Structure 1
């Protein structure tokens, strides 16, 4: 049931760089030389070394940084590249540099020069910690300085908040927004983060990991293309401004009222950056006319383009500089307290078998109503939404920052099983035997199947998408009519006009009043959960 229709994701132009003697490495070098905008991301191998607490010291043994195993670099190749090179690398290639395979000495100078080049604008999403870990990875292999700075640089969250402010949005702290949320709000792209915590040290990488890693870098360029258009609109007045909240067709919609761009809207583009590239000659033509310089050829867009990029870097850019303190690994406060208190017991040390045993709290023989009910803590909130999608009652804590006792009390009063990945909850043995289950799986799809099999839940296709994924409420039994849906959405929710041209049924949550309808996202979700739950169709 769609709240907004997601855009189809383009097929990315991905190159795995594993050897300095491969064609991909040559493409990588060429793209770096001819790109004025580069997006960066990195994946790490977590630190798993045990550090033993000592009564006289904070810890024995120095903590270490995570090892960067994969560096993702998406390039917006400029028009200065020859036709042969464009054909080879594509206009927006994404390079996945495998730091476990390629000799670091072959790319150190290449990366260092790119990081500090004033001619290249770098994009990232909270990239400082990535740079810290990347610098440590190179320093551990004999490079004395690692990397100490990136400039000019723009964080994608800064672009997001500037876009929201341009359209009357409220400013929030930068660390409250996720990349997936930004991509959904700006690009209408659903970006899954399920593989974020997968094992990035194993080789070969799976197709899912490769697609996930490439997308994280590529869509930074796409958000920047939207931001760049807004900047050009504000600075030159060339384009007609369109409300960000009303965009459903990406950049194509922005150019429909601009006569000079009719050649653009007649062409089907799969990305925002492709649309911007198609308009560079027009930007250059209008820019030259404004400056009274008609001698410049229309196809030569590099000067005006570079000027705008430099202006964007000047007004919104920043730099990442690693201080000496950033180069010294330190434990988080939580880990340090845990070590000093000796509270590092495993599940087995608590003496609790993680396999479910005993009665279920909703068992009618013990006063329950026979309906399976779960409570998910903050570590498995994604699992709660998946359970709701298959029709299972899955609540989250009624407290903003609940402590273990509050979670356990809520589970006991509401006759729910508490689902968690926090081993600390299992030491509360007065409830753990019949109220707490430790989820073993890491990915949401696997977690859902684990819970279904562990508690022998019966899932039917009729149950799919029968609960509100937002609040866990149930739907009004009768679907709403056209007039009822219009009335229910006033001042609360925007329904795309195109839905009313079809015989669409609308449903409303009895608790939060959220409206749902059977659209593309609904049918995709049903197909997804039919496969996960292994339902016969």
Structure 2
């Protein structure tokens, strides 16, 4: 059942795995011809060595003065380029575990400080610290200590949502997945974020995930450009974004009457073309004299110059940023008692007795789960297969609040936080510790553990947004148009199709059986192994 979400465009992905590869030459060319570059990085975590019985290990020698600090090693650098001379935004995945770092060090350094290339990132400061450390550890001195001009995607989101609140960002910032969903109407899965990025070869899912992270940064920036262009005819006169549209999403702002919602992505992605064809002038901006020395032979477009001048910033690493913070647990060694306690906690994740919804215990026989913040993605998957899966009623619930909600609503609490099992007031088998990391595996684990009966008729039978039920009778086109007034936009491309609409009884979200619905059904048929059950 398709909400108003456009299908994502395929990415032009290039893997850079060697110093003499044509992909590296393509990357050099793209950086010289790009006005905006989106950056992201994936690293392999630095694993701490646990203490084992036996003789004390030899103390490690002190690091030499000037040596690189001990940070996680960046395994993959994602660079999405908005090329001036042709359409499209190629995404380059630079494998820093395979490419000699000396062959790309100068190119990356020049790009990071080039005044004729706007760099985009999402909380990129930590990535920059790890990236600089990785290159320094391979003898590429000095490391990367600054990025300019730079624009954080969090700042763009903040300006789109609260245009008159200044540059100061709220402490509680949104995740990239949330920003993509609110600005682009795209569901960005982050389940592979914690996968092992040091293993080679990378899986297709890891490659797609890494490319999407960088490419969507460009699309969010294009949406910001498009917003600025629609707010005024002269860029030099724009002082603040209009507050009248601050409460609406980008989709409602750009949508014109009688326009199909599927053109949203076309409008967003064409924002840079609008900028190139515009005649806006900015006489009060002076291009630095050093821009030609960076190697990039083009100045920035007029709209980007305005954005850089008004919203751009410099990402600068201080000396304290290059020093690893001491661990609070330094000197502590896990005792055998602690190890035994941890083993007991893991064993508690095995379900051994009846469930709260058991008819013999006064339940209604319908499985119900409560998914904490660590498995919110699992909640959406459970809803997709027709299982009642709620999330905590408060944003930052205490363990006792989770227990009270689960007990009151006769649910089983699903979590990956083993610390929750330490609380003595949790009744026996009130909590299940999910073992798998990926959502599809988590879903199958819950189905098999609790012996849930899933049929194809149940698929997509609950609202994935709020966990509500659908109305029993489908809506006609006329009824759907009436229900969507002032709430949701129905694409014009659906008007000539004989299609049924469904509406959530709680949040009133409209759904219909479109392409994404069919794809989702096929996906969960495979995940839940329904084909095997029918044989």
- Distance between the aligned counterparts of 2:24 and 2:504, measured in 1? 53
TM-score, with length taken from structure 1: 0.79
2:39 aligned counterpart, secondary structure: strand
**Matches of residues 97-246 of structure 1 in structure 2 within 5 Å?**
97-165=94-162, 173=170, 175-234=172-231, 236-237=233-234
- Distance between the aligned counterparts of 2:38 and 2:108, measured in 1? 13
Moved more, 95-104 or 184-193: 184-193
Aligned to 1:495: 489
- Distance between the aligned counterparts of 1:332 and 1:474, measured in 2? 47
Aligned to 2:29: 30
Residues 1:403 and 1:535: Cα distance change in structure 2 (over 3 Å): same
- Distance between the aligned counterparts of 1:91 and 1:521, measured in 2? 24
- 1:445 deviation in Å? 1.2
Paired residues of 1:194 and 1:444 also in contact (CA < 8 A): yes
Residues 1:490 and 1:409: Cα distance change in structure 2 (over 3 Å): same
TM-score, with length taken from structure 2: 0.80
Partner residue of 1:360 out of 355, 363, 367: 355
Give unmatched runs, 5+ long, in structure 2.
52-58, 63-68, 236-241, 283-296
- 1:72 deviation in Å? 0.5
Residues 1:157 and 1:108: Cα distance change in structure 2 (over 3 Å): same
Residues 1:276 and 1:174: Cα distance change in structure 2 (over 3 Å): farther
- Distance between the aligned counterparts of 2:346 and 2:162, measured in 1? 54
Aligned to 2:12: 13
**Matches of residues 414-425 of structure 1 in structure 2 within 5 Å?**
414-425=409-420
- Distance between the aligned counterparts of 1:278 and 1:490, measured in 2? 32
How many residues align? The count is 492
**Matches of residues 292-441 of structure 1 in structure 2 within 5 Å?**
306-330=301-325, 347-350=342-345, 352-428=347-423, 431=426, 433-441=428-436
Residues 1:44 and 1:430: Cα distance change in structure 2 (over 3 Å): same
Q: In angstroms, what is the RMSD of aligned CA positions?
A: 4.0
- Distance between the aligned counterparts of 2:117 and 2:372, measured in 1? 43
After superposition, the C-alpha distances for 1:288-330 in whole angstroms (9 at most, x for unaligned) are 9xxxxxxxxxxxxx97853443332111100111112212222
- Distance between the aligned counterparts of 1:353 and 1:413, measured in 2? 22
After superposition, the C-alpha distances for 1:315-362 in whole angstroms (9 at most, x for unaligned) are 1100111112212222677x7899899978764144735332222232
- Distance between the aligned counterparts of 2:299 and 2:228, measured in 1? 13
Give unmatched runs, 5+ long, in structure 1.
53-59, 80-85, 258-267, 289-301
Paired residues of 1:439 and 1:447 also in contact (CA < 8 A): yes
Aligned to 1:93: 90
Moved more, 270-279 or 346-355: 270-279
- Distance between the aligned counterparts of 1:234 and 1:406, measured in 2? 45
Aligned to 1:461: 456
Aligned to 1:532: 527
- 1:97 deviation in Å? 0.7
2:377 aligned counterpart, secondary structure: helix
After superposition, the C-alpha distances for 1:11-52 in whole angstroms (9 at most, x for unaligned) are 322211111121112222222223232111101112221477
- Distance between the aligned counterparts of 2:3 and 2:264, measured in 1? 24
Residues 1:280 and 1:490: Cα distance change in structure 2 (over 3 Å): closer
Partner residue of 1:445 out of 435, 440, 443: 440
Partner residue of 2:514 out of 508, 519, 530: 519
